Amino acid sequence: MAEEILAPLAGKIVKMFMEAGKTVEEDDEALVIEAMKMETPVYVPCNGTVKEIKVKEGGEVEEDDVLAIIE
């Protein structure tokens, strides 16, 4: 089962904690999105392995963009 991490809001990726191929646990910090001067942490939704990361640190995202896939 693969699970997507979606962007909860539009903004800039200011921190990336995930690496493709690495195992992650539910509630780990996946990345941080900055918008309106505030930093919103995004958490990993389930235990698994990072199959794919679709964004880069410094990149802009829109709300509901797929940020990564956990398998």
Partner 1 sequence: MRPYFENMPEFGKELKKGALKRTEENLAEIRKAEAEIAEAVEKVKNAGFPTEKINARGQMTVWQRLEYLVDPGTWCPLHTLYNPADNAEGTTSVIDGLGKIEGRWAVIIGFDNKVMAGAWLPGQSENILRVTDLAKRLNTPLIWLVNCSGAKLPEQEKFYANRRGAGTPFFRHAELAQMGIPVLAGIYGTNPAGGGYQSISPAVLFAHKNCNIAVGGAGIVSGMAPKGHFDTETAETIIEKARHFKSVPPGRVEIHYNETGFFRYVFEEEKGVLDGLKEYMGKLPAYDPEFFRVAAPQPPKFSTEEIARLLPLAQKTVYDFDEILSRLTDGSQHTEFRPDYGPEVYTGLIKADGFLLACIGNRQGYLGKDYPEYADYPGFGGKLYRQGLIKMNEFVTLCGRDRIPIVWLQDTTGIDVGDDAEKAELLGLGQSLIYSIQQTDIPMMLVVLRKGSAAAHYVLGGPTANRHNAFTLGTVATEIYVMHGETAAVATYSRRLVKEKDAGCPLEPVIEKMNALAQDYYNKSRPLFCARNGLVDEIVNLADLRKYITAFAGAAYQNPKSICPHHQMILPRIIRG
The rounded distance, in Å, linking the Cα atoms of 42 and 33 is: 7
Applying CB under 8 A, among 3, 29, 52, 65 the residue interacting with partner 1 is 29
Q: Which is nearer to partner 1, 7 or 53 (CB)?
A: 7
Binding status of residue 25 toward partner 1 by CB under 8 A: yes
Q: Residue 16 contacts by C-beta under 8 Å, 6 or more apart in sequence? A: 31, 53, 55, 56, 57
Residue 7 C-beta: closest distance to partner 1, Å = 10
Assign 3-state DSSP to the chain and report helix, strand, coil percentages, each to 5.
Answer: 0, 55, 45
Binding status of residue 40 toward partner 1 by CB under 8 A: yes
The site for partner 1 (CB under 8 A) is made up of 8-10, 24-29, 34-41, 43-44, 63
